[in-house]
Amino acid sequence: MLKVLWEKWKQLGFFLARLFGYVLFAVLYVVLFAPVALIAKLLGKHFLPQFPSSTPTYFLPKERIKPTLEYLRRQW
């Protein structure tokens, strides 16, 4: 009897967790992400670097570092 009750209780818990997960993420999207995206779009804000379409590559140049022993000792 208790085993059956426990199994039903777990099924209810999994169902509620799944339901509230969808509800929570839907509310989070509507309340947080959508307004931020809308405001950014209206203000013309770009969160990623913008490159002209004539650019042959999207890689940014990186400064070369001479791997000296002193540099390798202070990695952090």
- Residue 42's pLDDT is 95
Backbone angles phi, psi at 8, to 5 degrees: -65, -40
Instruction: Spell out the per-residue pLDDT of the chain, length 76, in tens.
Output: 889 999 999 999 999 999 999 999 999 999 998 999 999 999 999 888 787 788 787 787 888 888 888 888 887 7
Q: For Cα atoms 19, 25, 30, give the angle at the middle one, nearest 5 degrees.
A: 125
E strands of 1-76, at which residues? none
State the pLDDT at residue 66.
83
Domain boundaries defined on the chain: 2-73
Predicted confidence at residue 35, as pLDDT, reads 92
Q: Give the per-residue pLDDT at 26.
A: 92
pTM of the model: 0.46
> Rounded to whole angstroms, how far apart are CA atoms 46 and 40?
7
Q: How far is CA 63 from CA 36, 60, 66, in A?
A: 34, 10, 10
